[in-house]
Amino acid sequence: MLTDRNPMTGNSDAQLLAALGPRSLVLVGMMGAGKSSIGRKLAQRLNLPFVDADAEIERAAGMNISDIFAEHGEPYFRAGEARVIARLLESGPQVLATGGGAFMHPQSREAIRAKGVSVWLKAEYDVLMKRIKRRSDRPMLKTDDPAVTLQRLMRERDPVYAEADVIVHSRDVPHEIIIGEIISVVMQWLKEIGRRSGGAGLP
Ligand code: S3P
């Protein structure tokens, strides 16, 4: 479904797509922030392909992420993740949901900056904790105290996620609201970038 008007900005989704060009909309942020579920719906709304980096890694490796961590370790997973993200970014425009650790990789950050618009889906600790309890297959949280691990990861990662081009607050409201906010803030960012690079600017 291509909605022609975004009530928050008055700009059409078609205008956003025109401004985006070949770039990917790249969702970054912690496990449980909603990158995959929101990303899938955002892609539907914009009529763009949706790609989940974790699923692509699993496909490329022929095994699931838990097994990759268990058999080969985290550094092996991270190297594969960076390769897969670099490859996926060649195929914009699209909505790309990344795994929670992906943006921590300097080369992936650089590639995302060059070929995409990064959106940090930022969620509060309580929201993340509630959501990640629903799944037990995340190797990063298979620790004695997942709550403490989550706090540590947030402390380490939040300053890096903050380097994303735009930030949207992920919370327990209908996805359509978050999606509207993503579209609005990305549009503002693209306009600003257009102005700064000396272009005539978007209407
Ligand atoms: C990870 C997050 C996972 C997955 C892997 C590592 C992390 O993705 O890539 O388990 O380091 O935060 P989600 O953020 O989609 O759960």
pLDDT at position 9, please? 46
Residues with CB under 6 A from ligand 1: 31, 35-36, 54, 65, 99-101, 138-140
Beta bridge partners of 169: 122
Amino acid making up residue 73: G
pLDDT at position 108, please? 98
Question: Which among 36, 38, 39 has a CA at the least distance from the CA of 58?
Answer: 36
Q: Which atom of ligand 1 is nearest to the CA of 66?
A: 10
Q: What distance in Å separates the CA atoms of residue 179 and residue 168, rounded to the nearest whole number?
A: 9
Residues 157-171: what's their mean pLDDT?
A: 98
H or E segment and range at residue 25: strand 24-28
Beta bridge partners of 95: 25, 50
Helix (H, G, I), strand (E, B) or coil at 70: helix
- Under DSSP, the state recorded for 54 is H
Each residue's pLDDT tens digit, 73-104: 999 999 999 999 999 999 999 999 999 999 99
Query: Where in 61-126 does DSSP place strands (E)?
Result: 95-97, 116-122
Q: What distance in Å separates the CA atoms of residue 24 and residue 103, rounded to the nearest whole number?
A: 14
* Mean pLDDT of all residues belonging to the chain: 93
Structure tokens at 35: 């990158």
Dist. CA 16 → ligand 1 center (Å): 28
Beta bridge partners of 168: 121
Nearest CA to ligand 1 atom 11: 101
Nearest CA to ligand 1 atom 1: 100
**HSE-CB for 172 with a 13 A CA cutoff:** 8
Tokens 């309580």 belong to which residue? 126
List C-alpha distances in Å: 43 to 17, 34, 36, 95: 11, 14, 10, 6
Residues 186-199: what's their mean pLDDT?
A: 90
Residue 200 banded pLDDT, cuts 50, 70, 90: low
Tokens 């620790």 belong to which residue? 143
Nearest CA to ligand 1 atom 5: 99
pLDDT at position 136, please? 82
Residue 5 banded pLDDT, cuts 50, 70, 90: low
Dist. CA 196 → ligand 1 center (Å): 34
Each residue's pLDDT tens digit, 126-159: 999 999 988 888 999 999 999 999 999 999 999 9
Ligand 1 pocket test target in 26, 28, 31, 155 with most atoms within 8 Å of CB: 31
Dist. CA 140 → ligand 1 center (Å): 7
Residues 101-117: what's their mean pLDDT?
A: 98
